Chains A and B, each alone.
Chain A
Amino acid sequence: MNLDKFLVKGEPMIYAAMVSIVVASLAILIGLTYFKKWGYMWREWLTTVDHKKIGVMYIIAALLMLFRGGVDALLMRAQLAMPENGLLDAQHYNEIFTTHGVIMILFMAMPFIIGLMNIVIPLQIGARDVAFPRLNAVSFWLFMAGAMLFNISFVVGGSPDAGWTAYFPLASLEYSPTVGNNYYSIALQIAGIGTLLTGVNFIVTILKMRAPGMKLMRMPMFTWSVLITCVIILFAFPVLTVALALMMFDRMFGGQFFTMANGGMDMLWANLFWVWGHPEVYIVILPAFGIYSEIISTFSKKNLYGYKSMVVSMVAISLLSFLVWAHHFYTMGHGAMVNGFFSITTMAIAIPTGVKIFNWLFTLRKGRISFTTPMLYSLAFIPIFTIGGVTGVMLAMASADYQYHNTMFLVAHFHYVLIPGTVFAVIAGFHYWFPKMFGFRLNEKLGKLAFWFIAICFNITFFPLFFLGLNGMTRRMYTYSEGSGFGPLNMLATIGSVGLAIGFVILVYNVYWSFRYAPRDTTGDPWDARTLEWSTHSPVPEYNFAITPNVKGMDAFWAAKKENQPLYEGKIEPIHMPNNSGQPFILGVIFFFLGFFLVFSMWVPAIVTGVGVVIMLAWRSFERDHGRHISVEEIIETERKLGGDTV
């Protein structure tokens, strides 16, 4: 077989990436063998159906992707630091901003949020696991297969280069002849199926598996946000799946959906993409709102202000999110009427969002605010995100958008929304729930240092872009002339991005440092928090709660602590748990290869692996696995070891 088809050549950076991939893989393999950890890996992680471990794996994957996407970002900023810079050529730059966008949204923000969802939701509602633990593992491994497939494109075959929006005709075979956009369509489809299944899983979990007494209007705000998010996922992701399938047909089977001849319609892609794409923004933002609500309430020592209006506003946002997609292309020329309609629906989203901001501020009011690391991120979110929000309203005004569209102003706006909105939230949630996952807190000093780097340098990086945009600098241009005058502000932004990177490095170092030196938390409730997840041990035993908690009001654990309401009544009974299974992992591997063969149009192996998928489904169908029970003695023993007082 001709290897030239697969390997991207001729670039020192690609060779470096290849070498680092090979070295890292070898290091993992050798390490696992040397420490005799293969069995441990397989038993404890690859085959796990435990929501907490799956959550941890999601977060590890998300952190890795954060660094991949972050390096992309640094390369872009380095290229743009000076006019006429020669660090990257156009093709390379195009690939890098494309993968930066896709990876950050789909393979960083999404899994980070889904990871936190996995860890926290069953604990917050007092459940032993999600509704379908096996399906949960399938979701994870499908996501992983998609993520890996997308990432190898850099060295095998070439990355997609038509932007993360992959507009046609640019993304068609004619204008993007490498396999890059095949990777885009197939990797995203595979990961998208995983996300869809997560959505189904968590809706059922939240609707059906809450502890007795936890009515819908007693659920913690994070649980609410996840429920609403999953409903959005349920209706938005199928649209993406279809859009990507049509793309696949156009690129690989001669389809004429988005072509320039034979009746194809390039505008159809833009519509389908954004019918998914805009709700997607809220898929990553709403859980962030939930995380902030938990943290702000915990560290103000107050219940959440305006709980009901918080819920109502999230529902409103989720409905509106499906009615605004055309604001991404006002300039396509659909006339003043259509643009007016979408302007108004878009601006209307600001209303429920504003309600939330004020509710948070009033939660803080009369509180006793302690500035822990997760709280710092949550507090920084409010002023910075508000800038993102108000610039969003400015962009929503169609007449003005004709001047902002496709410029650095837009780039600044969505980074002002997504970084304080989503990234700060997942970092805050990561710090906040870290002791729940591992039984110790991250170091506060390092955490705060990282925070200040990130919060300040974020603004240095992205604030100048507003002005660059108003001065006529468009996004996605790999170079600009000296005479354009874009140089100084770009240099400032690049300097900021370096600071931002330093912040993230400190954050990771903090994880390392804390693993080694941080004191263990024996209380299970290091933050003096309010919701059920803090009422069990840290780290959480596999069955979560020895006795199912009995909820009598909102913030049940807080009430239990303050008013001495017993949370755990009744006696310990054997607990039914699902068995581990290797099937989800194997299914993920098969999907990876299926995707790979499809990307390269290798039909015979693709059909073979496709049959493999069907066989896996049949295997699952015929399997008779009724799980196992953890005996009372075993539970008492575990509880004793963890220093439990719930018995």
Chain B
Amino acid sequence: MKKRGPLFLLFISVVLLLSGCSSNLLVLDPKGPVARTQSNTIIFSMIVMAVILLVVYILYVFVLTKYRATKANEGYEPPHEEGNKWLELTWTLIPVIIVIVLSVVTVRTTNAVEKVPAGYDNEKPLVIYAASSNWKWHFSYPEEGIETVNYVNIPTHRPVEFRLYAYGPIASFWVPQLGGQKYAMSDMVNTLNLVAESPGSFMGKNSNFSGKGFAHMEFEVLGMSPTDYTKWVDDVKKTAPKLTETEFDKLLNTELVGRKSYSSTHLSFRPAPEGENAGHHHGKANSTDNMDNMNMDDMDMSNMDHSQHE
């Protein structure tokens, strides 16, 4: 009996892969430097993996076609083979080399995407607090003194520093075309640096399951030219109502709301969990002091408390 399943599979995967790449898969259609780094990393790893798959598949098909039991080889007694030191060393060392290469790529790109993207590091970033609550997103612009719900407008070609935290369950802030996600949690603030390099509307969402309304936690990120952006900010300041504490509490307790705009932020009366009483300060690139948060010993997380002394 011939086994065509895997061949067929390989064929399908190649076809789907090609068609997939040509259409616009969001992750592979980046609109900013962070997402571009990630998209390149993904495509690079896909190519490496395709080569590995190909080697395995060729060997596999060869072995299966050549050594299957047939009438012709009846009576053939397969030899006893203990193994071969050199062959086994080969298929240990080549993967080791591949893993080293991938490790270098990973460490470099991970560092790159945690930082303000190269080329933008001299600019003062626009700080936006993004807080999740069941089940919506609140965006506060402390410098501009405005706040929006379920949509966020950003100027293009300017680094944006999203500071993420949550009212309630863990959420994950994700705008696939601008960059990968990061968690928003209740007892600390995470930082995510993004830049949009072309104007347009980008889909953003919570990607971490947070209960019943989770599927509806989408928001729009609108990249605008700097002039349009300033105009929009002025507009909001002029026309939108102030965000009072009661209004904010009402917002928190409403499960699903549409878009909202306010001409003040909730940060004054409900500050983000940072500063003295906050938990960790994560997400800063190269923060070596965080290394001991994750002790290598599986049973020992004894050092987790160190950053509390900050």
Binding site for B on A (CB under 8 A): 90-91, 94, 161-163, 167, 169-170, 175-176, 239, 260, 265-268, 271, 275, 300-303, 305-309, 322-323, 325-326, 329, 331-344, 347-348, 350-351, 354-355, 357-359, 361-362, 364-371, 376, 379-380, 382-384, 386-387, 390-391, 393-394, 396-403, 405-407, 452, 455-456, 459, 463-464, 467, 469-472, 474-480
- Specify which of A271, A333, A361 lies most central, judged by the most chain B CB atoms within 10 Å of its CB: A333
Contact call A401/B180, Cβ cutoff below 8 A: yes
Chain B: minimal CB distance from A326 (Å)? 6
Contact call A170/B95, Cβ cutoff below 8 A: no
Contacts of B68 in A (CB 8 A): 368-371
Contact call B83/A306, Cβ cutoff below 8 A: yes
Contacts of A170 in B (CB 8 A): 169-170, 209-211
Give how many B residues have a beta carbon under 8 Å from the other chain's beta carbons: 109
Cα of A479 to Cα of B216 in the assembled complex, Å: 8
Chain B residue nearest to A167 (CB atoms) is B170
* Contact residues of B between 79 and 125, Cβ < 8 Å to A: 79-84, 87-88, 91-92, 95-96, 99, 102-103, 105-107, 109-114
Report which of A309, A323, A369, A401 forms a contact with B67, defined as CB distance below 8 A. A369
6 A-B pairs closest in CB distance: A402-B180, A333-B282, A306-B83, A399-B109, A390-B49, A333-B190
Chain B: minimal CB distance from A640 (Å)? 34
Contact call B88/A400, Cβ cutoff below 8 A: no
Chain B: minimal CB distance from A495 (Å)? 14
Contact call A347/B103, Cβ cutoff below 8 A: yes
Cα of A390 to Cα of B56 in the assembled complex, Å: 11
The 24 listed contacts between A and B (C-beta, < 8 Å) are A162-B209, A167-B170, A167-B209, A176-B211, A266-B187, A300-B67, A300-B78, A302-B78, A331-B172, A332-B190, A334-B282, A336-B114, A337-B290, A343-B103, A344-B107, A371-B1, A386-B57, A390-B53, A394-B42, A397-B41, A398-B110, A406-B207, A469-B27, A471-B26
A383-B56 contact given A306-B83, A399-B41, A463-B13, CB 8 Å threshold? yes
Report which of B42, B183, B206 forms a contact with A329, defined as CB distance below 8 A. B183
Contact call B49/A394, Cβ cutoff below 8 A: yes
Contacts of A380 in B (CB 8 A): 5-6
Contacts of B212 in A (CB 8 A): 90-91, 94
Interface of A is mostly: helix
Chain A residue nearest to B7 (CB atoms) is A383
Contact call B99/A348, Cβ cutoff below 8 A: yes
Chain B: minimal CB distance from A88 (Å)? 12
Contact call A397/B182, Cβ cutoff below 8 A: no
Chain A: minimal CB distance from B303 (Å)? 12
Contact call A361/B5, Cβ cutoff below 8 A: no
Cβ of B267 within 8 Å of any chain A Cβ, yes or no, is: no
Cα of A364 to Cα of B65 in the assembled complex, Å: 11
Contact call B286/A467, Cβ cutoff below 8 A: no
Give the A-B contact count at a CB cut-off of 8 A: 324
Contacts of A452 in B (CB 8 A): 5
Chain A residue nearest to B5 (CB atoms) is A455
Contacts of B187 in A (CB 8 A): 260, 265-266
Cα of A169 to Cα of B210 in the assembled complex, Å: 9
Contact call A403/B78, Cβ cutoff below 8 A: no
Report which of A334, A366, A376 forms a contact with B79, defined as CB distance below 8 A. A366
Contact call A266/B186, Cβ cutoff below 8 A: yes
Cα of A341 to Cα of B292 in the assembled complex, Å: 12
Cα of A267 to Cα of B184 in the assembled complex, Å: 11
Q: Contacts A391-B49, A400-B45 given; 15 further ones with Cβ under 8 A? A: A266-B187, A301-B78, A303-B82, A331-B181, A340-B107, A351-B99, A357-B56, A358-B88, A370-B68, A386-B52, A393-B99, A399-B110, A402-B182, A405-B172, A472-B26
Contact call B106/A340, Cβ cutoff below 8 A: yes
Contact call A403/B279, Cβ cutoff below 8 A: no
Contacts of A382 in B (CB 8 A): 56, 60
Contact call B215/A477, Cβ cutoff below 8 A: yes
Cα of A471 to Cα of B286 in the assembled complex, Å: 30
Cα of A366 to Cα of B82 in the assembled complex, Å: 13
Cα of A459 to Cα of B53 in the assembled complex, Å: 16
Cβ of B126 within 8 Å of any chain A Cβ, yes or no, is: no
- Specify which of A325, A367, A397, A477 lies most central, judged by the most chain B CB atoms within 10 Å of its CB: A397
A163-B209 contact given A406-B172, A470-B26, A472-B27, CB 8 Å threshold? yes
Chain B: minimal CB distance from A335 (Å)? 4
Contact call B301/A271, Cβ cutoff below 8 A: yes
* Contact residues of B between 41 and 65, Cβ < 8 Å to A: 41-42, 45-46, 49, 52-53, 56-57, 59-60, 63-64
Cα of A280 to Cα of B240 in the assembled complex, Å: 53
A335-B284 contact given A170-B211, A361-B63, A399-B106, CB 8 Å threshold? yes
Cβ of B275 within 8 Å of any chain A Cβ, yes or no, is: no
Cα of A400 to Cα of B38 in the assembled complex, Å: 5
Contact call B88/A359, Cβ cutoff below 8 A: yes
Contact call A336/B110, Cβ cutoff below 8 A: yes
Chain A: minimal CB distance from B49 (Å)? 4
Cα of A308 to Cα of B95 in the assembled complex, Å: 18
Cβ of B285 within 8 Å of any chain A Cβ, yes or no, is: yes
Cα of A405 to Cα of B172 in the assembled complex, Å: 9
Report which of B6, B38, B191, B286 forms a contact with A399, defined as CB distance below 8 A. B38
Cα of A260 to Cα of B134 in the assembled complex, Å: 15
Cα of A301 to Cα of B286 in the assembled complex, Å: 54
Cα of A510 to Cα of B187 in the assembled complex, Å: 55
Chain A residue nearest to B282 (CB atoms) is A333
Cβ of B203 within 8 Å of any chain A Cβ, yes or no, is: yes
* Contact residues of B between 151 and 203, Cβ < 8 Å to A: 168-170, 172, 174, 176, 179-183, 185-188, 190-191, 203
Report which of A94, A239, A397, A470 forms a contact with B102, defined as CB distance below 8 A. A397
Contact call A355/B42, Cβ cutoff below 8 A: no
Report which of A275, A334, A469 forms a contact with B298, defined as CB distance below 8 A. A275
Contacts of A341 in B (CB 8 A): 291, 294, 296
Contact call A355/B91, Cβ cutoff below 8 A: yes
Contact call A339/B1, Cβ cutoff below 8 A: no
Contact call A175/B41, Cβ cutoff below 8 A: no
